[in-house]
Amino acid sequence: MTHPIDLLPCPSTYTRLLLQYWPASVERVLAGTGLTPALLVRQELITVVQHLQALRNARDVACHENWALDFGRRLSISSHGPMGFAAISAPTLSQSIETIAMFARTRAPYVDFSATEMGRQLILRFDMDTYPLGDLEVPLIEILQQIVLSYIRAILGEGNGDPVLCFPYAARGYALRYREAFGSRCEFSAGFAGLALPVNLAALPCPLHDEKIYRSSLSRCREALEGVLAKGDVVLRASHWLAAHFEQIASNRTFTSLPRLEQLASAWGVTTRTVIRQLAEHDVSFSELRSMQQLEMARRMLDDAAYKVSEIGYLLGYGDPANFGRAFKRLTGQSPSDYRRRAH
């Protein structure tokens, strides 16, 4: 039976890298995919089914359990397209992690990602239950850990600590290789797949931050995300549409107007009544989603010292600093100035 995710687009980059890693086994790696080396050069996107079949074939070619640890180490930061450039050029570590959580589905549509603060930790989760991965789940977690770790280390540099890598399964027979491969503390049977960082590192500036590259990469990420979101995923689609609107305001540093329900309906080619009904089916309204994205952008701008607090309130449509301060404190429990001091 066909799964809704089967035919979603997936970058061909990773399959090309598999062929480079096993150059003597090209036919075996591509068996059953309908792909050829020439096609992979011409075609930027393949389907999830083709991508995962190539990974299964690579596992069989490798003939050892820890093949994914070795392959994951070969993936450079530049392997991950606009998402990679956006993550490495973000203003702060927390914004880099949030960028990965928002847009990693453009690289791996069969996994859901989320970034949250819990207690004193900043946590990035990989939800592996979105798609039936079977015996690929463990190697994919190992590869994802390698990818995210490479970004975090590029930002943290030396001496700022390492994340704790969390695995939902018990230690495997080759678990001793995990420390060698990751060079970081690993926790097994952790209850989730992902990693955890001390929250006090969240505001650490990214050494490669470039506002122009960051904004342009985010724009390309949002375009790519549209291709992997199902039409029925209305809350996520609406949230990303709203986020793009606020992103443009922050980038241009010019307030035009708050995004309106009528604009979203027009973008989707439906009536406003349809949008209201679809969102209501998920127990949320357009105004609630807009407030959430407005607040999220406010947090991101407060993390960036280039924006004054008064400017943030104006750009995000609060009218004046006092209105912004009241709204921010009502939603977060602290004033914008207090939030900025705490973050830094």
pLDDT tens track for 114-146: 998 888 899 999 999 989 999 999 999 999 999
C-beta of residue 313 within 8 angstroms of C-beta of residue 325? yes
Q: Are residues 48 and 102 in the same domain?
A: no
Q: Which residue has the tokens 């089914």?
A: 49
Domain-terminating residue out of 149, 184, 201: 201
Full domain range(s) for residue 296 = 229-343
**Is position 210 within any domain?**
no
Same domain, 156 and 197: yes
Residue 192: Cβ-neighbour burial (10 angstroms; 0-12, 13-18, 19+): middle
| Strand-pair partners of 197 | 122
User: Torsion angle, CA of 43/49/55/56, rounded to 10 degrees?
Assistant: -150
Residue 46's H or E segment, with its range, is strand 45-47
Q: What is the DSSP string of 216-238?
A: HHHHHHHHHHHTTS-TT-HHHHH
- In the chain, the number of structural domains is 3
pLDDT digits (tens, 9 = 90+) for 167-198: 999 988 787 888 888 888 999 999 999 999 99
Question: Is 223 within a domain?
Answer: no
- Of the residues 201, 216, 243, the one at which a domain ends: 201
| Domain identity same for 313 and 256 | yes
Asked whether residue 219 is domain-assigned, the answer is no
Domain-embedded: residue 145: yes
Is the pLDDT at 344 greater than 60? The verdict is: no
Residues 91 and 56 in one domain: no
- 3 state SS for 252-274: HCCCCCCCCHHHHHHHHCCCHHH
CA-CA-CA-CA torsion for 126, 298, 323, 259, nearest 10 degrees? -80
Q: What is the Rg, in whole angstroms, of the alpha carbon atoms belonging to the chain?
A: 21
Task: Answer yes or no: is 260 within a domain.
Answer: yes
C-beta neighbour count of 131 within 10 angstroms: 21
Does the pLDDT of residue 263 top 80, yes or no?
yes
> Could you tell me the pLDDT band of residue 329, with boundaries at 50, 70 and 90?
confident
- Phi first, then psi: what are they for 115, rounded to 5°? -120, 130
- Find all residues with CB under 8 Å of 192, minimum gap 6, and list them: 125, 126, 166, 168
CATH number at residue 251: 1.10.10.60
Last residue of a domain, one of 185, 201, 217: 201
Query: What's the average model confidence in pLDDT over 5-31?
Result: 95
Residues 83 and 58 in one domain: no
Residues 96 and 195 in one domain: yes
Q: d(Cα 164, Cα 179) in Å, to the nearest integer?
A: 11
pLDDT band at 343 (very low <50, low <70, confident <90, very high): low
- pLDDT, residue 132, reads 94
pLDDT at res. 300: 80
Please indicate, yes or no, whether residues 44 and 104 belong to a single structural domain of this protein: no
| Residue 304: inside a domain | yes
Please report, as a single letter, which amino acid is at residue 120: R
Which tens digit of pLDDT belongs to each residue from 317-326?
A: 887 778 888 8
* pLDDT at residue 105 in the model: 92
246 and 160 co-located in one domain:
no
Residue 187 sits in the same domain as residue 251: no
User: Which pTM was predicted?
Assistant: 0.82
Check whether residue 13 and residue 53 sit in a common domain: yes
Residues 326 and 246 in one domain: yes
In a domain, 220, yes or no: no
Sign of CA dihedral 277, 283, 287, 293: negative
Enter the tokens of residue 285: 């309204």
Q: Which two tokens stand for residue 277?
A: 């009904």
* Residue 67 clears pLDDT 90, i.e. is over it: yes
- Asked if 134 and 191 sit in the same domain, the reply is yes
In a domain, residue 224? The reply is: no
195, 166 contact by CB (below 8 A)? yes
